[in-house]
Structure 1
């Protein structure tokens, strides 16, 4: 099998209303960190899509024509392999339903109708959580466990070669990032007087800690560069 080159989070949209499914698909695909690999409109289609496409994130409706999203959630949790992140996207507001969904391990619960901005905020949190988990090696301390239980990625320790003082300088520079474009690693390097490669390491650490977000910046020639913003 060839190595995976697309680092976007593979997403399955489960929604019985095809018009809403297309809308939610558009919301997801407007985020550069995610790609929709399939849509499903019934519980049976959803479970087959999970097997066929191996998604990393599922947007899951609760009201489905052949079963409930809660049943689909239970089946997803029983399958082998890495855990799948789940965001409930539903009109279901009953307390028992919400509690069962949370007990089943949904990361977020969005009540329809919701805006693209509301979903994007949850997608950003999914990315921060995944980045924090990837950065952890070995056992967690109590703070890391608490962060995981609360749905946040454990805060990784400062990697070798990075200093707290320089990290604070980068964070201070990032605090002045333009809201529309952020700051590139080169711009942060110029503002702090450090090398570009060093600035990038600190910025990537801030993203992993959930203290910064990153999006591609377009407008010039050649490949887009990443723009970093404080969270």
Structure 2
């Protein structure tokens, strides 16, 4: 685990991330807050590309909790059976849809506490929805962010909660909203787990990682 980088270095790193991609976007396809919740819940232990393939047709016919309930659990399974843990995920999609209809008038709530109370929705999922849909500076720490945060010293921590706090505490305020997207994309395409692409890394000169591939 690298030591926490100093403030000036953090500013320079996120300035470069911003210059390379001023408005980074998540890669899960969705058409509204509800389909975003479903897509993120389905993405656990699955790739975004795999989820997008599974939901492409699903969201055409079920883009509201009411329509998803009408489709039913077996109907959901038919669309998502290429995704890992699809049976349990289909069950959760139906359960959370029922709660949204019965308790929230079919609308997705905009509070973290309400979101994490939904079946299949944890803190990471809630933070993704809060960030992507409502623009909150919420930090959804996945395996990519955990690796990048610790490897580079951007947000070191022994667990995901510690890394989340490190981002909130140390990333300059003007970069908080997009921080988790920049870090996810950096981890997914450049600072990869086995063979990081240090030769093309925009922050290589600022990164203390000792096992660089240059």
> TM-score scaled to structure 1, two decimals?
0.28
Larger C-alpha radius of gyration, 1 or 2?
Answer: 1
Query: Comparing both structures, which one devotes a greater share of its residues to helix?
Result: 2
Query: Comparing both structures, which one devotes a greater share of its residues to strand?
Result: 1
> TM-score scaled to structure 2, two decimals?
0.30
Greater length-normalized contact order (CA 8 Å, ≥ 6 residues apart): 2
